[in-house]
Amino acid sequence: MHVFDIIALFIFLAGLFIFVNTYFLKLPSSIGLMIMAIVLSLILYLAGFLFPGLQIGAAELEEYDYAEVLYHVVLSFMLFAGALQIDFKKLSKQRTPVLVLATTGVLISTFVIGTLIYYMLHWIGIDLHYLYCLVFGALISPTDPIAVTKTIKQFNLAKELEIKIQGESLFNDGVAVVLALTLLDIAHAGEDHPLSVFETVYIIGADIGGGIFIGLMLGYLGYRLLKYVDNDQVEVEILITLAVVMVGSFLADFVHVSAKQAAVVMGLVIGNEGKGEYVSSAAGDYVFKFWNLMEESLAAMLFVLIGLEMLVIPWRLDYFSAGFFAVIIVLFGRWTSVFVPIKLMSVKRSFKPNTIPILTWGALRGGLPIALSLSLSEFHGKDIIITMTYIVVVCSVLYQGLTVPLLMRSFGSKD
C-alpha cells in the first residue's frame, strides 16, 4: 500500500467518523471517535477471521513503516498547532502553577509511572529496561488539549481552575514528547556503554537547548514574514507557517536536536507575537483557524490509527494484563504529579479544594501518546509499550471521558 493510499484512507475514515459522531452519536469528539475506532477494529478483525482473504489489509498495515510520517509530520504539526493557541496574557496570574504542573508535574509523572511499570512488568515476567519504562512514563503523561478544553467549557468551573486545566494540557504535551525522545536517545546511547552523568546532561542539554534555539530563530523569522505580508493574502500566511514548521523540523533533525521542542517554541513565538494589539500586522485570524482545523483533523486521523492499530498489536495475555495494570499506575502517577506540586505551591498560593481530583480525573489521554509510541525507533520492548499505551488511552477516553462530567457537575462553580 502506497503512502498516499494510507493518507487517503485515514482522511476518508476521519471525515466519516466526524460526520457520524456530529450528526448521529452526538458525543464529545474524543469519546465518539474512540468508540468508532474500536468498532472499526472489531469489524476488520471479524471480517479477517471469517474471510481470511481480507486479512491482507492488516498485513499491509503492519509492513508499512508509517513511523516516519508520524514522527516528521504529525507530531510536529500537532505540537505547533497546540502551542500556537497558548496565549501567555490569558494565563496572567496562573502562569506559574501552569508552568510548574506542565514541567515538574511531567517529570514526577514520568518517574513514578516508569518506576512502577518497571517493577510491575518484572512481577508478571516481562523484561524491559528501566530507561524504556521511563520512556513509557513520559509518552503517556501528556493530556489531550482538545478533549480537555471542550469538556471544561461545558461546566461552571471556577475561572482560575479552568485556566489551570486548559493551560497545563496545552503545555505538557510538548514537554512530555521532548522528555520521551530524549530518554530514548539516552537509552540507545547507553546500549553500547553506560553513560556518565556528564554525558547524560549533555544529551539532554543538546536536545532541548538546540531545539529551543532553532525554534526561537525560525519562529521569529516566521513572525517577521507574517508581519510583512498583508493579512488579505491568507494563502501566503498559511504557507509561511507550514514552511516554518517543516523547515524547522528538518533543520533540527539535520543537526540532531529536538525537532519537537523546536515546533513547540515556534508555535509559542508566532502565536503570542501574532496576537493582541499587533494582530493586524502579523498573523491573521485565518492562520489560527487553519491550524486549529489541522489539530482537530490530525487528532481524528490518530483515532482512526488507534482502530487500525488493534489489528497489529501482539495478542498476548501478559501484554494485555500489563496494559490494564498500567491504567491504574498511570492514574496514580497523574495524581502524584498534581498532588505534590500543588501542595508545595499551596504555601504561597491558594487553590480551590477540588483542584486535585479534577486535574487528576479530567486528564484524558488522546492520540498523541499513540502516535509517539508508534514513531519510536525499534528496540526490545517496543511492542509492550505500544500495547500498554493503546489500552491506557482507550480506557482513559472511554472510562474517564464518560465519568468526568459527573465529577465536573459535582465540583463546578463560577466562584
Annotate 198-221 with three-state secondary structure: HHHHHHHHHHHHHHHHHHHHHHHH
Q: Determine the Cα–Cα distance for residues 409 and 398; give it in Å rounded to an integer.
A: 18
Q: Which of 149-153, 195-199, 279-283, 389-393 has the lowest mean pLDDT?
A: 279-283
Mean pLDDT of 208-224: 90
Mean pLDDT of 60-83: 70
More confident position, 117 or 40: 117
> What does the pLDDT look like over 91-108, one tens digit per residue?
767 778 888 888 899 999
Mean pLDDT of 57-86: 69
Q: Determine the Cα–Cα distance for residues 76 and 242; give it in Å rounded to an integer.
A: 11
Average pLDDT, the chain: 81
Give the list of residues 6+ apart from residue 86 with CB closer than 8 angstroms, or none: 167, 170, 171, 267, 268, 271, 272
User: What is residue 65's predicted lDDT score, i.e. its pLDDT?
Assistant: 55
Sign of CA dihedral 18, 242, 224, 85: positive
User: What is residue 318's predicted lDDT score, i.e. its pLDDT?
Assistant: 92
Q: Is 232 helix (H, G, I), strand (E, B) or coil?
A: coil
CA-wise closest residue to 121 among 325, 399, 308, 353: 325
Q: Which of 7-21, 62-76, 163-177, 233-247 has the lowest mean pLDDT?
A: 62-76
User: What is residue 135's predicted lDDT score, i.e. its pLDDT?
Assistant: 94
Residue 262, Cα to own-chain centre: how many angstroms?
15
CA-wise closest residue to 43 among 301, 254, 310, 340: 310
More confident position, 372 or 146: 372
b or e along 306-337 (b: 16 or more beta carbons within 10 Å of the residue's beta carbon)? Answer: bbbbbbebeeeeebbebbebbbebbbebbbbb
User: What is residue 217's predicted lDDT score, i.e. its pLDDT?
Assistant: 94
User: What is residue 55's predicted lDDT score, i.e. its pLDDT?
Assistant: 56
Q: Is 331 helix (H, G, I), strand (E, B) or coil?
A: helix
Mean pLDDT of 13-37: 86
Query: Which cell goes with 244?
Result: 516554518
Confidence of residue 195 (pLDDT cuts 50, 70, 90): low
Cβ contact 411:357 at 8 Å: yes
More confident position, 342 or 230: 342
Q: Determine the Cα–Cα distance for residues 63 and 67; give it in Å rounded to an integer.
A: 11
Does residue 316 surpass a pLDDT of 50? yes
More confident position, 158 or 396: 396
Does residue 71 surpass a pLDDT of 60? yes
Mean pLDDT of 339-366: 86
Angle, helix 29-50 to helix 401-411, in steps of 10 degrees: 160
E strands in 269-396: none
Phi and psi torsions of 85, nearest 5°: -85, -10
CA-wise closest residue to 133 among 392, 395, 388, 396: 388
Give the list of residues 6+ apart from residue 218 with CB closer than 8 angstroms, or none: 244, 247, 248, 251, 262, 266
Cβ contact 132:381 at 8 Å: yes
User: What is residue 279's predicted lDDT score, i.e. its pLDDT?
Assistant: 42
User: What is residue 278's predicted lDDT score, i.e. its pLDDT?
Assistant: 46
> What does the pLDDT look like over 112-156, one tens digit per residue?
999 999 999 999 999 999 999 999 999 999 887 666 666 666 666
More confident position, 330 or 256: 330
Question: How many CA atoms does the CB half-sphere of 56 hold within 13 Å?
Answer: 3
User: What is residue 64's predicted lDDT score, i.e. its pLDDT?
Assistant: 54
Amino acid at 373: S
Mean pLDDT of 58-65: 51
Q: Determine the Cα–Cα distance for residues 172 and 144; give it in Å rounded to an integer.
A: 9
Q: Determine the Cα–Cα distance for residues 262 and 244; give it in Å rounded to an integer.
A: 10
Global pTM reads: 0.84
Give the list of residues 6+ apart from residue 281 with CB closer than 8 angstroms, or none: 227
- In this structure, the number of other CB atoms found within 10 A of the CB of residue 52 comes to 9
